[in-house]
Amino acid sequence: MAALPLPPYAVRPRESAGSFDHRFDAAARADVPSDGTWHTVAVGEIPVGLRTEYLCVPSVEEAAYTTLVVSNATGQALLAGPVEVTVDDEFLLTAALPTLAPGGVRRLGLGPAEAIRVTRRTHLRESTAGLRNNVTVLDHQVRVELANRLAAPAVVEVRERVPVTSEPDVRIEERDGWAVPEDGPGEHAPGTRVRRVELPAGGTAVLEGGYEIRIPAGKALVDGNRRS
Radius of gyration of the chain (CA): 24
Instruction: Tell me the residue type at 17.
Output: A
Q: pTM for the full model?
A: 0.79
Give the Cα separation of 59 and 44 in Å (integer). 43
DSSP element (H, E) containing 51: strand 49-56
pLDDT bucket at 225, cuts 50 / 70 / 90:
low
> What digits encode the pLDDT tens for the residues 158-201?
999 999 888 888 889 999 999 998 875 567 888 999 999 999 99
Report pLDDT for 114. Answer: 94
Considering all CA atoms of the chain, what is the largest pairwise distance in Å, rounded to the nearest integer?
Answer: 84
Instruction: Tell me the residue type at 67.
Output: T
